Amino acid sequence: MTFLLPMNGTPWKAAEIPLTSLHSTSEAIMLTLTSLGGASTVTGSKHLLTNGDKRILIDCGLFQGLKNLRELNWAPLPVPPSSIDAVVLTHAHLDHSGYLPRLVRDGFRGRIYATAATRDVAELILKDSGFLNEKDAEYANRKGFSKHKPALPLYGVRDAERAMAMFTIVPFQDAFELPGGATLTFRYAGHILGAASADIEWGGRRIAFSGDLGRYGDPLEPFASGACTPRSCRIDQVRILPLT
């Protein structure tokens, strides 16, 4: 499976994968996966899963790195944030969670589903990110080096606080029903505290979003106990793996 993500112009159009072709029956399936980031670049992870008029966003990361990547954070999403029913967050790193405050600022009103530890780590990271965005804008205005008058932050601390109020905690290894009839199961992914792979069953299909994975034998993570490894999670359709 090849993802393409043009870096200029319209960054969203080339990564849509209709999941119908993966099924051998003639049953009409409308499940579609669109990569909005985290493809052809390792940051900005956002995967939009669509079933009819229902939309679930898996991860909501910031583009980071060189200026041409960071500028992608200012491009509007191809769908209105208000039309997204839920966000599933695999872990709290900024390249997977850092766009959440902006998504909320732009109209998202659903819930954000994450493990308890991911929620706690995300609170630290997102508030800090909002603070730094505000300080960067203040500095640019004070020094007058931005072409924007005034320079504005992508989001601020208040936006991060609003996003934090929208979290719903989902335990590891339990099937959990999402809006629109999808079923989410978080499985241990190692990597950082709270990190999970998101196993989603929807419309008769099962899709695993690995998120970032830890290593085998890490004494701090349940990987070490053999509770779940990438190979032991039985997935019969598609695995979405990070490029790193």
Q: Which residues contact 213 (CB under 8 A, 6 or more apart)?
A: 189, 190, 191, 197, 230, 242
Determine the Cα–Cα distance for residues 62 and 37; give it in Å rounded to an integer: 9
| Token pair of 173 as six digits | 């290894």
- If the CB atoms of residues 93 and 127 are measured against Zn ion, the closer one turns out to be 93
Determine the Cα–Cα distance for residues 121 and 58; give it in Å rounded to an integer: 18
Report, in Å, the least distance between residue 120 CB and Zn ion: 16
Report, in Å, the least distance between residue 188 CB and Zn ion: 14
Report, in Å, the least distance between residue 191 CB and Zn ion: 6
Neighbours of 36 (CB within 10 A): 24
Lay out the site mask for Zn ion across 160-189 (x = CB under 5 A, - = otherwise). Answer: ------------------------------
Q: Under the criterion CB under 5 A, does residue 93 sit at the interface with Zn ion?
A: yes
Order the strands of the 16-18 sheet from edge to edge: 16-18, 31-37, 46-51, 54-58, 86-88, 111-114, 167-169
Contact 67, 48 (CB under 8 A): no
Report, in Å, the least distance between residue 207 CB and Zn ion: 19
- Please give the DSSP secondary-structure letter assigned to residue 211: -
Q: Which helix (H) or strand (E) holds 136?
A: helix 116-143
Mark the segment that binds Zn ion (CB under 5 A) among 7-15, 135-143, 205-213, 223-231: 205-213
Mark the segment that binds Zn ion (CB under 5 A) among 15-23, 165-173, 196-204, 211-219: 211-219
Q: Which residues contact 151 (CB under 8 A, 6 or more apart)?
A: 136, 137, 140, 141
In the numeric block, the tokens 């072409």 are attached to 147
Report, in Å, the least distance between residue 98 CB and Zn ion: 11
- If the CB atoms of residues 14 and 116 are measured against Zn ion, the closer one turns out to be 116
Q: Which of 212, 221, 223, 240 binds Zn ion (CB under 5 A)?
A: 212
Mark the segment that binds Zn ion (CB under 5 A) among 46-54, 132-140, 204-212, 231-239: 204-212
Report, in Å, the least distance between residue 81 CB and Zn ion: 23
Q: Under the criterion CB under 5 A, does residue 221 sit at the interface with Zn ion?
A: no
Residues of this chain that bind Zn ion (CB under 5 A): 93, 212
